[in-house]
């Protein structure tokens, strides 16, 4: 089976940095994606990790440790528009189907 865990909700202050964690236990591993989803909208792609380490893309970075089954999404210089759900999705070995976690609802306040 597969298990993907994320915190349900986080709050942070505008301008701050927030780290959203994702842990997974899957049968094999073939890549991890982070998506952003605003309420009532479709998920949109943020980042992809398949090798250990940090991937940086503007204000957003994503880190992966395959041996620990762990990833995080780092959001810097938070803006009000960053209030959304952040979804961790894992592709398991032998499959190209991403399986989603429950998502972390991030609330950014002034």
Tell me which residues in 43-82 interact with other proteins (CB under 8 A): 43-45, 48, 50
Burial 62-98 (b: 16+ CB within 10 A, else e): bbbeeeebebbbbbeebeeebbbbbbbbbbbeeeeeb
Can residue 97 be called a binding residue for other proteins (CB under 8 A)?
Answer: yes
Q: How many residues bind other proteins (CB under 8 A)?
A: 24
> Of the candidates 57, 59, 102, 109, which one interacts with other proteins according to CB under 8 A?
102
Q: Does 9 bind other proteins (CB under 8 A)?
A: no
Residues that bind other proteins (CB under 8 A): 30-31, 33, 35, 37, 41-45, 48, 50, 87, 89, 91, 95-103
């Amino acid at each position: 089976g597969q298990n993907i865990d994320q915190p349900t909700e986080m709050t942070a202050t505008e301008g701050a940095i927030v780290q959203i964690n994702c842990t997974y236990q899957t049968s094999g591993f073939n890549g991890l994606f982070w998506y952003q989803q605003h309420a009532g909208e479709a998920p949109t792609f943020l980042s992809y990790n398949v090798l250990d380490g940090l991937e940086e893309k503007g204000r957003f970075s994503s880190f992966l440790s395959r041996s620990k089954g762990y990833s995080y999404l780092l959001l810097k210089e938070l803006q009000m528009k960053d209030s959304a759900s952040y979804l961790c999705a894992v592709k398991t070995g032998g499959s190209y189907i991403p399986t989603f976690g429950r998502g972390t609802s991030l609330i950014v306040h002034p």
